[in-house]
Amino acid sequence: MKIPHVPSAAFRLGAFATLAAVIVLIFPRYNNAFRFHYEIGKPWGYSTLTADFDFPIYKTDEQMDRDQKQLLSTFAPIFKYIPRVQREVRVISLAHMEWLQAEGYSRITIGKDKYPVSDIFTPKTAFTRYGYDCAINLTLDTAKTEDLRDKLLQSISPTQGLVQKGEKIIDKGEVVTERTYQILNSLRRAYEDESIGHKQRTLSIFGEAMLVVLFLCLLVIYLYVFRLNYLQSTSTVLFYCLQIFIVIALACLALRFNLSVYLIPFAWVPILTRVFLDSRTALFLHITTILIASIVVPAPVEFFFIQIVVGMVAVSSLSDMTRRAQLVQTAAWILLSQVVSYTAITFAQTGAITAIDPWMYFYFFICALLTVGCYGLIYTFEKMFHFVSSITLVELTDVNSELLLQLAEKAPGTFQHSMQVSNLAAEAAKAIGANALLVRTGALYHDIGKMVDPLYFVENQTGVENPLLKMDPRDAAQVIISHVSEGEKLARKHHLPEAIINFITTHHGTSLVRYFYNTYCNEHPNEKVDESLFRYPGPRPTTVEGAVLMMADAIEARSRSLTDFSEASIAQAVNQMIESQIADGQFAETKLSFKDVEDIRRVFTSRLTAMNHHRISYPTLNK
């Protein structure tokens, strides 16, 4: 899926608005506006509830069943005589006798009289009693029996008592008893009355929409204040919206099919966001997601408490995902946190071990297994939104990969240079809190364009004359500059991530190919030189990591021209190179601070001094 480039802020805000509308539409719709969630033995998690109108207290199914059995115990099915059959003995078929016994009827009605079942015979029992065959002379009057039975059952009242308007039903924090549960269920049924519930349903949906919009607005405000670059990225905004939609949709689907919402791996949101972005945003996005889900899930307070713990554990245990095993470890920590938090909150609310639902632990286990499945989503989102994960970066740093092996074979000097730049840049990135793994990987690939014509670059020239010295300085400069565009072509051919391609295109920024520029100026002292012929096309670095690589690349190359490798000499070279790049405006679009620059200088000086230290000479053995 290719994300369209739409610079308009309206499109990105429209994505959040669309998400809000879709979420409200997919929320489970109930037949009433009574949206409270409650369980017997659990505290009432809402404010004090009073009756807004009079409503009856409906009997439970068990009570209705008991009343029906009690009433039917006196019921006598209606039988009638079969015409022209003798009536000395009352005889019914074996099937009717078995039916009377199965239903527990003790009497039957014949005409206006009632007779105990013990006085009624089957052909077999009549023969045993009287010693001769007796014909069946009674048959069940099905129509009259069912009609009488229905009228009898309809006489049973489905209610017992009345709750009057203004009467208190339950206080906040009060444990829901069986009696309170029955009253709450009666109130729910009352809301099902169309005349009562229509207005409440409309207001309920409106309230849901307001809450969803509120939570998403808070997310947008957070991004605007703290992560403006994320909010300005269309792909990142769509990434946020898709994550929230997937998890909320799964939760709504579970609720529609009466499944536990704890089967849904809400940890996907913080894990995916942490892998591609940062911990702070991961936790904020997770909180936004579970706040939205809390609108419709049962026991929202308990749900929110457990999921907050899940998000904190997911972010803390996955500080930098570089191995697949880390995801399994994170899932295990999430499982443990869910078990502990659920057990703790249940004990805190009820004070009874019997309130623990063992099935919850099974749900947590399934959820942990689904959390591991997040690994497949990491790969999918990488390709969909052109992100790059730490796992991918680690795989790209393998020097045995196809592209790096080609670089080592075709341009061994460039390969060694890239290795040194990679080490320098990674150390500097660590010192200033930048992404060391990203800059290390970018450094390994930044000069792959030199594979096209490796002998034009001095680090690959062993015992041969530099062919560029025989060329016009303008042409020679273009040959040097072309390694950037050639590198980009190779990178795209091998499907390298955009984050790595950015290092290739920006590692020289718009700087001058100063050797050939100076040479041409010296050869043409009276000519006004067009600098564009000697400048890299750019763009200049826009990230701290890009700036670090640009510095490391130039300084490592400069260090190879030094004859004095003392710390003072190296420090002077480092300072001169960085100052010239700053003066040339190469880092104007980055967020490098003065402190960052000073820390980078210190690291480069220290590392280059250590890399070029002198060894003692070994004495020869006197013969």
Q: List all residues 6 or more positions away from 305 whose beta carbon is below 8 Å from its beta carbon.
A: 341, 345
Query: Per-residue pLDDT tens for 90-107?
Result: 999 999 999 998 888 889
> Which residues are bridge partners to 175 per DSSP?
43
User: 613: which DSSP letter?
Assistant: P
Residue 594 has pLDDT above 60, yes or no: yes
Q: Is 204 left (phi over 0), alpha (psi -120 to 50) or beta?
A: alpha
Q: What is the pLDDT of residue 5?
A: 46
Provide the pLDDT for residue 212. 96
pLDDT: which is higher, 385 or 349: 385
pLDDT for 394-403, tens place per residue? Answer: 889 988 889 9
Give the pLDDT confidence of 72-84 residue by residue, as tens digits: 888 899 999 988 7
Q: Give the whole-angstrom CA distance, residue 108 versus residue 120.
A: 9
For residue 229, pLDDT over 80 is answered with yes
Residue range 159-203, pLDDT digits in tens: 888 888 888 888 877 888 888 998 888 888 877 665 555 666 777
User: Taking a C-beta distance cutoff of 8 angstroms, is the pair 533, 480 a contact?
Assistant: no
Tokens of 96: 């009717």
Contact 124, 132 (CB under 8 A): no
Q: What is the mean pLDDT of the chain?
A: 88
Q: Residue 236 pLDDT more than 90?
A: yes
Spatial separation of the C-alpha atoms in residues 299 and 554, rounded to whole Å: 60
Contacts of 521 (CB under 8 A, 6+ apart): 529
Q: Which residue has the higher pLDDT, 623 or 449?
A: 449
* Residue 30 pLDDT greater than 60, yes or no: no
Domains and CATH numbers, the chain: 9-32+197-385 (no CATH), 64-154 (no CATH), 398-611 (1.10.3210)
Q: Quick count: other Cβ atoms within 10 Å of Cβ 277?
A: 17
pLDDT for 199: 64
DSSP 462: S
CA distances to 83, 91, 130, 138, 595 from 86, in Å: 9, 10, 14, 10, 117
The pLDDT of residue 273 is 93
- pLDDT above 80 for 322: no
| CA-wise closest residue to 540 among 589, 607, 475 | 589
Pairwise CA distance, residues 13 & 8, whole Å: 9
- Beta-carbon contacts of residue 475 (< 8 Å; ≥ 6 apart): none
Q: Is the pLDDT of residue 623 over 80?
A: no
pLDDT of residue 618: 59
Predicted local distance difference test score (pLDDT) of residue 192: 67
- Evaluate whether 371 touches 414 at the Cβ level (below 8 Å): no
CA dihedral 225→230→236→237, nearest 10 degrees, is 30
Tokens of 487: 């590198």
Closest by CA to 313, choosing from 349, 359, 389, 364, is: 364
Separation between Cα atoms, residue 125 and residue 118, nearest integer Å: 11
Count of alpha carbons within 13 angstroms of residue 436, beta-carbon side:
13
| Average pLDDT of the residues in 426-443 | 94
Predicted local distance difference test score (pLDDT) of residue 536: 94
At residue 197, the pLDDT reads 53
SS3 category, 169? strand
Cα–Cα dist 10/444, whole Å: 39
DSSP codes joined into one string, 96-159: HHHHHHHHT--EEEETTEEEEGGG-B-HHHHHHHHSS-----EEE-HHHHHHHHHHHHHTS-SE
Asked whether residue 31 carries a pLDDT value surpassing 60, the answer given is no
What are the tens digits of pLDDT across the range 485-526?
Answer: 999 999 999 999 999 999 999 999 999 998 899 999 998 888
Q: What is the residue whose two structure tokens read 């907050």?
A: 308
Helix (H, G, I), strand (E, B) or coil at 170: strand
- Whose tokens are 């905004």? That residue is 237
With the C-alpha atoms ordered 492, 497, 498, 502, is the resulting torsion angle positive or negative? Answer: negative
- Residue 303 backbone dihedrals phi, psi, to 5 degrees: -60, -45
**How is 496-518 classified by DSSP, letter by letter?**
--HHHHHHHHHSSTT-B-HHHHH
pLDDT computed for residue 263 by the predictor? 94
**Residue among 29, 298, 91, 80 nearest 176 (CA):** 298
pLDDT at 269 over 90: yes
Name residue 613's amino acid. Answer: H
- Spatial CA neighbour of 209 closest among 20, 433, 352, 55: 20
Percentage of residues in the chain having pLDDT higher than 90:
51
Helix 498-506 and helix 436-445, axial crossing angle in degrees, nearest 10: 60
399 Cα distance to chain centroid: 33
Q: Report, as an integer, the average pLDDT of 19-29.
A: 90
Residue in 563, 558, 561, 572 with CA at minimum distance from that of residue 605: 572
Does pLDDT of 45 surpass 90?
no
Total residue length of the chain: 623
Q: What is the dihedral of CA 536, 542, 497, 234, to 10 degrees?
A: -130
Inter-residue contact 385 to 236 (CB < 8 Å): yes
Q: By three-state DSSP, how is residue 58 classified?
A: strand
Question: For residue 411, which phi and psi values (nearest 5 degrees)?
Answer: -135, 70
Vertex 449, ends 443 and 450: CA angle to 5°? Answer: 95
Contact criterion met (CB below 8 Å) for 27 and 295? yes
238-262: average pLDDT: 93
pLDDT at 129: 87
Terminus-to-terminus CA distance in the chain, angstroms?
A: 75
CA dist 551 and 602 (Å) reads 13
Relative to beta strand 49-50, strand 138-140 is unpaired
CA-based nearest residue to 565, from 617, 618, 615: 615
